[in-house]
Structure 1
């Protein structure tokens, strides 16, 4: 078996001017107010920096994975592992520090366990994505210590539906020659509502500008073992999914159920002979009752049960099978105003049963149970000043079972953690144009089962991972400060953030190489350990939508954004790994009648601030362009679009990807698509 060896917007407006196309053509270059639905108070003046993607903006940003779809949003980068797997990274934080939600609750998978494990979600099914940058552990648990990504799909309709409505989409092209189709149908009589959707996506090996392996890696390899040229080997795959859901709606609420399924098969670019077969079934329940007369004005319940499995297939034989099944449920009640205070009180429980089966399993069977209570209060202190304060108390029990495997002898007893979080925020209106938003939070996170007990070679990533059963809770103090502005011509924000971890659990390279038995071997695979260190994350984010005006040639706007994160291991003074460099984005938007277009230039600086035993990345500048035309056929609305990415065919290696030295991002690509709604 061959293995590679190396050293290893504020809520008041939609981000990046709602990117390419907005649902109403006459407002494509105008920013509309946004409300984060994941905020139980429904307040568009949330102090935390947040971003919303929806409508045609999301359609044009869409790629085959969630991480690549969101890559380039302010503060968001990608764990890119080829087109089959990619998870969002927020401000340099990844894995179990970023909480991925579907309709407000977590759906179990194994994507946080390893970079090659895909998020079992095709973005084509998503109607809206909400991103909260910075700690959101208060409402969603310790695994949201770095941020939250919430996807909404209306599989349980929350509003009455009259008649029959639907949507469909076809797209072809891209660097991986994607062939994608999707459809959605919703019907209702004003009381009962039904939702159906289905999708299918197939893609080839990704085209890349030059060699798959970087020059530094090729220098250590034989000429016939350099990963190939112009194509990223074993990066092809497919993914299919669908759902059925329904709800009963009335004037003061709704209640409904849903069932969804996801099936995928894709290659691991880290290993030419390894493929991953993934399956997930998810059952959901959601209900809300509004306009109550008791101590609570409304009560909302969300629950989901997930049965997830994926197998790592090597040379046609199943090497390791990962299974994760369990549930998550939360209830939150919005109480009657207590003097000037408005707020919610809630509880959350979740359980997961994880198994890794096979000779190459690198984590033991583990059950994880957690229960939490939380509270969030808002206070309109003055006409200009709004304050928020909340807290969360969460208890987690991790129960491993080594099942006689000597490699997991550390997994011989339960681990219990009680984590507490406090958060405060303020939004102050300086003038009708300028406002100041600030947050301060203390958050704790219990270590996960793999951070505690991992011990073995992970075939799909070509690494040897080692946990530490003595790890204590992750603890951080974080703050944000942003200046927001809106004078009708310019609308945006400039902000800074800072997080200090007294115990940061990182997957850090040791510089050693080991064989499959965990013994030192110069020709083996790199060792990575889960280690608790003191750490600091700091950075800046800025964005501006500039309405340039309108003339005989159409309406014009310019969008500018940038972000930078600096992360340091304070125990040794080295940089933390897999941190995106300084990134600058600019986009020129145009629309006239039914036509719309955009040209983008994106620049990323070189990233040479890396740990001593890891490689850096070169800087790059890419060019993108797109155009769209809207038309009607009967009662249906249509959008025909074409978009090009990396048009100058630059070699792009993401500093945030563990495969940066062997799996570059896609080269020049053109994609066409057709979407309809009726």
Structure 2
């Protein structure tokens, strides 16, 4: 498994042809100018690297990259966390535009996307992601596929993936076929994944949680009840390509059925339809040399079914459109401007109707300019201005009656610099001022949320979240040897977060005494001053390279410190200091990787949270590449947590009742033709 970071785009060339799909080495996310050298701290995964990292959720797939952790709510639920920020502060995109779901609202809601269908994943950390909105203050995760073929295709090609194993007996498979005549191209894909209950090395509940449970509570051992699931989907797409561009459309569908690890009788059934259109026109005459257009419409629904009865139905449907225009150079300036429009309607109907039906409309203008001052110094300046309108409707529910419509004007600006000290060393820095409008759930929540054990109350008078963020990194790149050491800092003036009031209430927000069955912690959204800072380290060093053999040593480490400035109290769900040391060996078609991960304890938690302990895990991956006729094959065996450690992520809201999986072995096979 190869970890690609800091805008590195090509895997080390193996001794024989690989199964990787040839990719245009342009970093799309956060730079409409298509530059391969970004001041932003960024990572990209594709090809073999992505195949060997794939997990049962998007968050788990990216967990362990510099500055990236994950939420968890069982094996198939995980949304990326970047630099300690989650929810609406991280934009999860599909081909550069939104794919609406309910994953930012609650930790038990999965991201309706399987990495088996993804060609590449790009991650941009920190302030350079503001071109995608104030709600990208933490960063952007952009999954990119070829469902709308962007380049001419001659003939027919395809790919098949299959794997089995893991701590939950995951059975996964995917297939795709692409073809074309050099002008018209098509793409078809399908995927399916099914898991059993997650096996764990001991009790599901932590030592501290079992002490709080008392002697009369049954304690699951060896596996996590109701953690199984199945999800499947597919897509069709077509495009017309010519020398200076392409235009196409696609449709993809997603179905899921999985259990809630916090409620033994609750299942979540999810469905999403996603229609996309995209086009790019290059070498235009006039003031603009290139235009890029992306549009997507999403219709999403999921039902929470308690003992066979649908309790709550969540729906989210809407569109997002984005146009980017690259202008011809204005003196030394190279740049692009763009417009983004979106509208979506979210509703939660039933027993857990914690928010009113709300329509959110967003219109934004953005731009980016770069100036190559000298061969050694490049400067960039980006800005975005957006208008956000949130219009709630009570729908006959009295507790939402009188919820006011809110309108916000939010502006953001960022500046970046990349300075080459010499041919190997460079320094990169970014600074940004960002404004984020509150979401519908931060404004209007008023209802029980059993998945987190809370009764949530929004703040309809909440103001914009404002932050100043900066990061600075020292980078080294010399052939196969690469390294980066970075620091970051963000300070929020009005950080919107949940605060427990100390009251225990029932589903009607009426006070109940301690020990009452199904009692909920009352929590309110409140704006506070907050700060986040930390470090990110990663590097690869080739220690041996002779003939068909090579050996790389890789190191990754990160740490985030986050606190409420007003009280000094730690913010919740922050990953502790983590470090990964790996040896990556290749001999002709054979490969072997050993990876040791250590996470320190997390004792910096809010007063009502429980701390997490340290863990050390060992992983091993063995690979073999071969050819059969004109087909390329990759066979692999992946062992994870071979030390069978009890792993509880500090970033998980269910860490004390549902740990990560124990020792597991997975076998997989991929072929391309």
Both proteins in one fold, TM over 0.5: yes
Spell out, residue by residue over 1:2-25, the C-alpha distance to the aligned partner (whole angstroms, 9 max, x if none): xxxxxxx754425xx96xx97775
Measured against aligned partners, the alpha-carbon deviations of 1:622-674 in whole angstroms (never above 9, x if no partner) come to 00001011111111001111000000100010000111111101111000011
Within the candidate set 321, 338, 345, 2:337 is matched to: 345
Contact 2:636 2:668 in 1 (8 A): yes
Equivalent residue runs for 1:369-518 within 5 Å = 369-409=361-401, 412-488=403-479, 490-518=481-509
Distance (Å, rounded) in 2 between the aligned partners of 1:555 and 1:415:
59
2:179 match: secondary structure: strand
Q: Does 1:614 align with 2:606?
A: no
Unpaired runs of at least 5, structure 2: none
Structure 2: how far apart are the matches of 1:589 and 1:511?
Answer: 50
Deviations 1:502-547 (A, max 9, x none): 1111234444332111122223122333221100000000111010
Deviates more, 1:592-601 or 1:216-225: 216-225
Looking at structure 1, the residues matched to 623 and 464 of structure 2 have their Cα atoms a distance apart, in angstroms, of 50
Question: Are 2:669 and 1:674 equivalent residues in the alignment?
Answer: yes
Output aligned runs, 1:238-387, within 5 Å.
238-387=230-379
Equivalent in the alignment of 2:572: 577
Measure the CA separation in 2 of the matches of 1:33 and 1:321. Answer: 41
Residues 1:536 and 2:528 are matched in the alignment:
no
Could you tell me how far 1:406 is from its partner in structure 2? 2.8
Contact map agreement 1:84 1:267 (CA 8 A) in 2: no
**Against the structure 1 CA distance between its residues 560 and 287, is the aligned structure 2 distance closer, same or farther, given a 3 Å change threshold?**
same
Whole-Å Cα distance in 1 between the matches of residues 207 and 590 of structure 2?
Answer: 43
Q: TM-score, normalised by structure 2?
A: 0.96
Shift, 1:383, TM fit = 1.6
How far the C-alpha of 1:227 sits from its partner, in A, is: 4.2
Q: 2:165 — aligned with what?
A: 173
- What is the alpha-carbon distance in structure 2 between the residues aligned to residue 633 and residue 33 of structure 1? 27
What secondary structure is seen at the aligned counterpart in 2 of 1:298?
strand
Alpha-carbon distance in structure 2 between the residues aligned to 1:479 and 1:221: 43
Contact 2:404 2:460 in 1 (8 A): no
Partner residue, 1:87: 79
2:232 is the counterpart of 1:237 = no
Secondary structure, counterpart of 2:263 in structure 1: coil
Aligned counterparts of 1:382 and 1:299: Cα–Cα separation in 2: 28
CA contact (8 A) 2:15 2:548 kept: no
Residue 634 of structure 2 corresponds to residue 643 of structure 1: no
The Cα of 1:284 is off from its aligned counterpart by 0.2
The structure-2 alpha-carbon separation of the partners of 1:552 and 1:285, relative to structure 1 and needing over 3 Å to count, comes to: closer
Say which SS state the counterpart of residue 192 (structure 2) adopts.
Answer: strand
- What is the DSSP-based 3-state SS (H/G/I as helix, E as strand, rest coil) of the residue aligned with 2:168? coil
Deviates more, 1:487-496 or 1:143-152: 487-496
Alignment of 1:513-524 (within 5 A): 513-521=504-512, 522=514, 523=516, 524=519
Deviates more, 1:162-171 or 1:542-551: 542-551
**Residue 540 (structure 2) aligned to one of 525, 545, 550:** 545
CA distance in 2 between partners of 1:211 and 1:520 (Å) = 32
Q: Is the 8 A contact 1:10 1:48 kept in 2?
A: no
Q: Give the equivalent residue in structure 2 for 1:71.
A: 63
2: distance between equivalents of 1:656 and 1:22? 36
Cα distance per residue 1:395-446 (max 9 Å; x no partner): 000000112323224x522100000000100000011111000001000100
Question: Does the C-alpha gap of structure 1 residues 59 and 581 become closer, same or farther in structure 2, counting only changes over 3 Å?
Answer: same
Give the corresponding residue for 2:108: 116
Distance 1:368 1:155 in 2: 28
Write out aligned runs for 1:128-207 (5 A): 128-207=120-199
Distance 2:17 2:278 in 1: 35
How far residue 455 of structure 1 moved from its aligned partner, in angstroms, is 1.2
2:596 corresponds to: 601
**What do residues 221-265 of structure 1 show as CA deviations (whole Å, max 9, x unaligned)?**
244524401101111010001000000000010000000000000
Specify which of 211, 221, 224 is matched with residue 203 of structure 2: 211
